[in-house]
Amino acid sequence: MIESIQQLISGWITHFFGLEAAFQTKIFQSLTLVFVFWLIRRISLRVIVRRTTDPTARYQWSRGSGYIFVALIFITVGRIWFEGFQSLVTYFGILSAGIAIALQDVLKNLAGWLFILWRKPFRIGDRIQIGENAGDVIDQRIFQFTLLEIGNWVRADQSTGRVIHIPNGLIFTQSIANFFSGFAYIWCEIPVLLTFESDWRKAKTILRKIVDETAMELSEAAQVRVRSASQKYLIFYNRLTPIVYTSVEDSGVLLTMRFLCEPRRRRLREEQIWEAVLEEFANHQDIDFAYPTTRYYNNKSEGKHTQGLPAD
């Protein structure tokens, strides 16, 4: 009875749609497998939901079972439609191409992880900047690495407390700056603007003495690091000792202190130098900081004569 009904339905489909019996069988088997796997997944999720109250665990089970469901459908349905070794190879080739397109971001992250292990652009504990994100590397996994963020609304490269998860694939499209690779120091500059009436030569001598006392010991250690880094990178400096540069701005004489600093101690070094500068300049009446001011001139009271006007 059942066989006769199946034959009747098969004949009707062949008559109206022109589908052969073998093709109809494959469609029926495929739909049956999809339904069976879908039913198993629904029942499993229902059981897990009843026994688990953690929403995170429920989400992970839902996502994981979905991936397994799709993979099983591809494999089992593929075996129905592609019979024989040659067909199986063709099927897996098509399947691989489809997976590569659908999961291109995942594969890119995996390739990025392999590149990080091979070339080592950074390690756990390094301070790096990739794109607009900067921080200390605190974790590294197959698909992403994690930074403890620095900067942003916090000054002097100090930690914000936020944790940033960055896909590994970004190393192929974003530039990476490593604060520790090769040369383990950074150059810092502190500008000090003085009025034109100040004794800028005396101020420059004072600043040079302060920055030498604060950062000179790093220059000696940096010499050793530069020699070591030059074996791997083309890094060379003619001068590693602190220096004070002189320039002129619209509102005064600018003295810029340039010195080496450890990346994680930049704010501490700046605080030490600024406190020393403030204390030292307070002892000299002929040195004043420049700041935005408005000045009015009165030629008569200042003893200046304007051309074309009679002098008093």
Where are the CATH 3.30.70.100 domain residues in the chain? Answer: 186-281
- CATH 2.30.30.60 segments of the chain: 122-178
Question: Tell me, what's the pLDDT at 179?
Answer: 86
Closest CA to 81 of 25, 32, 39, 38: 25
Distance CA 131, CA 211 (A): 32
Q: What is the pLDDT of residues 16-53, one digit of tens each?
A: 555 556 666 777 777 888 888 888 888 887 887 787 77
Helix/strand/coil percent split, the chain, to 5: 50, 20, 30
Which runs of consecutive H residues, i.e. helices, occur in 181-252?
200-229
Give the pair of three-digit tokens for residue 47: 């059981």
DSSP 3-state of 244:
strand
Q: What is the pLDDT of residue 84?
A: 47
Instruction: Output the CA torsion sign for 250, 254, 260, 265.
Output: negative
Task: Please give the pLDDT value at position 227.
Answer: 61
pLDDT at 7: 53
Residue 271 burial by CB count (10 A; 0-12/13-18/19+): exposed, middle or buried?
Answer: exposed
pTM: 0.59
Calpha distance 281→288 (Å, rounded): 8
Helix 85-102 vs helix 104-119: angle between axes, to the nearest 10 degrees?
Answer: 80
Adjacency order of strands within the sheet including 159-167: 159-167, 144-150, 133-140, 127-130, 176-178
The C-alpha angle 186, 156, 232, rounded to 5 degrees, equals 20
Looking at residue 308, its pLDDT comes to 52
Record the tokens describing residue 236, joined without a space.
Answer: 């060379």
**Dihedral of alpha carbons 237, 238, 241, 244, sign:** negative
Question: CATH assignment of 186-281, given 3.40.630.10, 3.40.50.1010, 3.30.1330.10, 3.30.70.100?
Answer: 3.30.70.100
Give the containing element (helix H, strand E) for 251: none
Low-confidence ranges of the chain (pLDDT < 50): 2, 5, 84-86, 312
pLDDT at 201 (0 to 100): 96
- Please state, as a whole number, how many other Cβ atoms lie within 10 Å of the Cβ of residue 142: 12
Residue 46 has a pLDDT of 83
- The pLDDT of residue 2 is 45
Given phi > 0 = left and psi -120 to 50 = alpha, else beta, which region is 123? beta
pLDDT reported for residue 216: 72
Structure confidence by residue, pLDDT tens digits, 59-83: 667 767 777 777 777 777 767 766 6
- For the 122-178 domain, the top CATH level (class) is mainly beta
The pLDDT of residue 294 is 74
| pLDDT for the residue numbered 9 | 52
